[in-house]
Amino acid sequence: MTPVSSPTFRPLYKQIKELLLDGLRGGEWRPGEAIPSEIELAARFRVSQGTVRKAIDELAAENLLVRRQGKGTFVATHGEPQVRFRFLRLAPDAGGPVAAERRLLDFRRARASAELARLLDLRAGDSMIVLTRLLLFSGDPVVLEEVWLPAGLFRGLSAGAVTEHKGALYNLFETQYGTRMVRAEEKLKARSADPETANLLEVEPGHALLEVERLSFTYGDRPVEWRRGLYKTDRHFYRSELG
């Protein structure tokens, strides 16, 4: 006998959550903007206010929305305190995360390799923007990273724009290009510093580093950035949350 699959039941609040995500993906509400009130959304979707609240609660827990007491619910940005260090998971041994100084070393155009095209769902040879930069904590160079972006998605991005922007790179992407990073996948491995990297991170050649490869996604699980960072962990550790 051929097994018959039973229909999948989706709670109503999950369906409302998906409708809200559709609005975020489609740009109906941009980063930093307020979404309609729970009462307005309940009337729009013809559900109870409690159902809308539960959907918003999940999106807030996923750092896609943020509630502000007395003001409403807003689309989260990478400038929010609770989101700012969501992707930068390096913290000093002595305490919590500290502000990073960002120093652009190189800005260039390149072509996507076959492997990079596969990761970013592009065609081999597509135009890419490549940034190389240092992250310094209290003046100490701690991270050397290379960032690859599809040029078609970030038209007009320049070295000047990156240098002048004082916040996180992801905040620039969402405010100027409407592209918000909502999740990432990372691969970590140990690596020793080559002479050029050692010079930039102010360590001896052969010094042990942590290599972090990251593939970042926007809404709809669309991959839009690949980066590789080399982390100096003498006085810092990599934070990870499980469960």
Task: Flag whether 81 is in a domain.
Answer: no
- Residue 81: pLDDT band (50, 70, 90) is low
Q: What percent of the chain has pLDDT over 90?
A: 57
What does the block give as tokens for 193?
Answer: 């510093």
Average the pLDDT over each of 44-58, 69-83, 116-130, 177-191 and give the range with the smallest value: 69-83
d(CA 140, CA 202): 8
User: What's residue 141's pLDDT?
Assistant: 95
Torsion, Cα 225 157 129 231, to 10 degrees, reads -60
- In the predicted structure, residue 85 carries a pLDDT above the cut 80: no
**Are residues 97 and 37 part of one domain?**
no
Assess whether 63 and 153 both reside in one domain.
no
Report the chain's mean pLDDT, rounded to a whole number. Answer: 88
Looking at the structure, tell me whether residues 114 and 229 fall in a common domain. Answer: yes
Q: What is the mean pLDDT of residues 99-124?
A: 94
Position 7 in a domain = no
Domain count of the fold of the chain: 2
Residues 159 and 202 in one domain: yes
DSSP per residue, 130-158: EEEEEEEETTEEEEEEEEEEETTTSTT--
Q: In this predicted model, what pLDDT tens digit does every residue of 195-221 receive, in sequence order?
A: 999 999 999 999 999 999 999 999 888
Q: What CATH number does residue 227 fall under?
A: 3.40.1410.10
pLDDT, tens digit, 9 for 90 and up, residues 214-237: 999 998 889 999 999 999 999 988
User: Position 110: which residue type?
Assistant: A
Maximal CA-CA distance, the chain: 69
Q: How far is CA 160 from CA 47, 157, 176, 180, 187, in A?
A: 48, 8, 14, 21, 30
Tell me, what's the pLDDT at 1?
44
**213 & 106 share domain:** yes
- In a domain, residue 82? The reply is no
Domain end call among 25, 46, 75: 75
Q: Are residues 120 and 212 located together in one domain of the fold?
A: yes
Confidence of residue 6 (pLDDT cuts 50, 70, 90): very low
- Does the residue 146 lie in any domain? yes
Structural domain that includes position 215: 88-238
Predicted local distance difference test score (pLDDT) of residue 82? 55
* Helices 49-61 + 12-25 axis angle, to 10: 60
Burial class (CB in 10 A: 0-12, 13-18, 19+), 25: middle
Indicate which CATH number applies to the domain containing 71: 1.10.10.10
Q: Which residues pair with 143 in a beta bridge?
A: 135, 231
Based on the fold, state whether residues 98 and 191 are members of the same structural domain: yes
